Structure 1
Amino acid sequence: MTARALSFDVVAELYDTSRPGYPPALFDAVEDAAGRPLAGAHAVDVGAGTGIATRSLLARGARVTAVEPGPGMAGRLHAVLPGVPLVRAVGDALPLADACADLVTYAQSWHWTDRARAFAEALRVLRPGGTLALFWNVADQTVPWLAAQNARLRAHGGDGGHGVHGAREQGPLLPDSVPTTHRRVSWSRQVTLDEHLGNLSTHSVFRMLGESTTAAFLTAERQALLDVFPDGTVEEAYVVDLVTTRR
């Protein structure tokens, strides 16, 4: 587990309050891929962070075990979801029984794993017919202001602030021999400018650049966005990238 992967711990509360959730249509697509409802399913949410996806799974009636390595993120998850079983571990080595889960999810977290090891572990803990679901909220680059912001982020920090941080550029998400389904779900949300900038500041590119560099970028970004959203209400547009496979 890299320092960048654990860099969210120091902003766990802000991460929890400013990061986007997921639209209901995403979980409709997960159910369709799994061939069963989430209600009553045992889901293992790996890299659960502060429990953003965990909450959505619970709302659909799943029984969820959360897996999270970071102490700050896990602490926040336990504070907001005290009744959810929480395991401090990484996806590369899950301390869970064989064939115990109907669903294994990775929300914004598969790109932090050793993929071969994490895939083997997911298959081990899934019951026959169980589903592995990988998904990311990715800023919709067809929206002009988001494309312009992404260009500024890359010029400033060498990386985009939204999405999978080049997960697909690192090679196939799953082995080539594995049958997968790939779906995209578009959605949007309205937030205040402060909430949008708070969301940006929790991304790992800024956690690695440091506070002063981050503050300088966010000050300039505030002005750039006020030119687009003079009333201070930002329309964030996302495409959820969903990849599934069944054991």
Structure 2
Amino acid sequence: MTAPSHTSRAHSFNTAAAQYAANRPSYPTALLDAVEDMAGRPLAGARVADIGAGTGISTALLHACGADVLAVEPGDGMAAQFHRALPDVPIVRGDGNRLPLATASLDFLTYAQSWHWTDPARSVPEALRVLRPGGALALWWNASALDVPWIDAQTDRIQRHFGADQVIGKNGAHTALPDPTGRLDFARRLVRWSRRVTIEKHLANISSHSIFLVHGEESTAAFLTEERRHLLAAFPDGTVEETYDVELLLATRP
């Protein structure tokens, strides 16, 4: 199976923005507490830009905690869904490789599930440009907890179906090289949390990931049909507990 291009995977979310918004997990309150603790400053009242904001999952949390937040999103479908969810939060079009933001204008620059779609050779200098001295670049990802046996087994099945080299899981992480330029010194923290959802919502969640979206309806449907059988056998009440380790990386601009 030929691996889809990085670009095609990045653009794939625009066709599934409503599915993404309805089924993807949010983040725990403890994550924003950790961001503030590591940055040594509150989010409330801070000037924040949330990059690759998508449907607004992380932007909504930042807005709710009192941040003066602006969203940046490149995709038409995702931006339209964002407007429906957060009509009062400003959103501009752009991406992390070329930020449509003023120099030294931000206290925080955040990337939720989106830093891996950038080219750090371009996005790191842009982060340094738009952050004020002492401002923080915060990157985070919801990563499935592979020490939970059923999640580990499901990851194996996804890798076998789509190809191990195409799936982020046991064989690598988005955060392996957050800054290959060496210009930023990242501190790291893990925040574990979980949510209980129906099997159907869980399947809708995982199938909103790019690896499913770029392989077409037939391949995705075949996997989901078989996966539903596995999950119903393991969880006959039709409910699963998704467990996540939010991986948070934070660096402060000198």
Q: How many Å apart are 1:168 and its aligned residue?
A: 3.9
Aligned residue among 204, 229, 239 for 2:245: 239
Task: Verify: 1:41 aligned to 2:46, yes or no.
Answer: yes
Aligned residue among 209, 212, 221 for 2:215: 209
Aligned residue among 171, 174, 180 for 1:167: 174
Match of 2:91 in 1: 86
- Structure 1: 4+ residue segments shifted above 6 A: 161-165
Q: Quick one: distance in 2 between partners of 1:114 and 1:19?
A: 24
Q: How many Å apart are 1:178 and its aligned residue?
A: 2.5
What's the % identity of the aligned pairs?
Answer: 55
Q: How many Å apart are 1:6 and its aligned residue?
A: 0.9
Q: Secondary structure at the match of 1:238?
A: strand
Residue deviations 1:68-108 (CA, integer Å, cap 9, x gap)? 00100011001111111111101100111001111000000
Task: Verify: 1:156 aligned to 2:161, yes or no.
Answer: yes
Segment of structure 1 superposing worse, 130-139 or 156-165: 156-165
- The 5 Å alignment of 1:52-201 reads 52-158=57-163, 159-160=166-167, 166-168=173-175, 172-174=177-179, 175-201=181-207
Q: Aligned pair count?
A: 245
Per the alignment, do residues 105 and 164 of structure 1 end up closer, same or farther by CA in structure 2, a change over 3 Å counting? farther
Matched-pair contact (CA < 8 Å) for 1:151–1:160: no
Match of 2:9 in 1: 4
Letter in 2 for 1:51: G
Q: Secondary structure at the match of 2:7?
A: coil
Q: Quick one: distance in 2 between partners of 1:144 and 1:157?
A: 20
Q: Quick one: distance in 2 between partners of 1:186 and 1:65?
A: 27
Q: Quick one: distance in 2 between partners of 1:44 and 1:138?
A: 23
RMSD across aligned C-alpha pairs, in angstroms? 1.6
Residue deviations 1:207-230 (CA, integer Å, cap 9, x gap)? 111001101100100010111111
Q: How many Å apart are 1:177 and its aligned residue?
A: 4.7
| Unpaired stretches in structure 2, ≥5 consecutive residues | 1-5
Q: Quick one: distance in 1 between partners of 2:234 and 2:216?
A: 27
Q: Quick one: distance in 2 between partners of 1:115 and 1:164?
A: 21
